[in-house]
Amino acid sequence: MSSSPTLGPIHPLVPAGEDLEPAIAFYEQKLGFKVIHREGDPLRLAVVQRDMSVIYLCKNSYQNLGSPTSLRIQVNDIDQLFAEYEAKDESIVREKLAVKPWGPKEFVVYDPVGGCLTFFAMPGN
């Protein structure tokens, strides 16, 4: 009997404006991601990664993508991540760390072009 397929982490395409450099700087300097790939001259795609989270930052005109983008990223130590981001630049945090009525503990950050990143931990994490 074969095992069932297992879904892995998602790698979303995120519209990041016409100039990707501000988005790259934000993800690196504010959120602790590293650029693992750059494509095009002029730049039309950059791939950033932190741990198991990979995000493809796309020039808006490169893909026909919906905007604004909203992502939920699960975190194993949400208190530490929240403290890290607040220490770097507390103005990037749009919703403070809180336990939500539906269960997870979460906080929200907006990227430079309005993308919403919700970092969350399930109860007990």
Asked whether the predicted pLDDT for residue 1 surpasses 70, the reply is no
Cβ neighbours for 85, distance < 8 A, ≥ 6 positions apart? 30, 31, 92, 93, 107, 109
Better-predicted residue by pLDDT, 63 or 52: 52
pTM over 0.75: no
Which tokens is 52 given? 């198991």
Q: What is the pLDDT of residue 67?
A: 55
pLDDT digits (tens, 9 = 90+) for 78-91: 999 999 999 999 89
Closest CA to 67 of 124, 22, 5, 111: 111
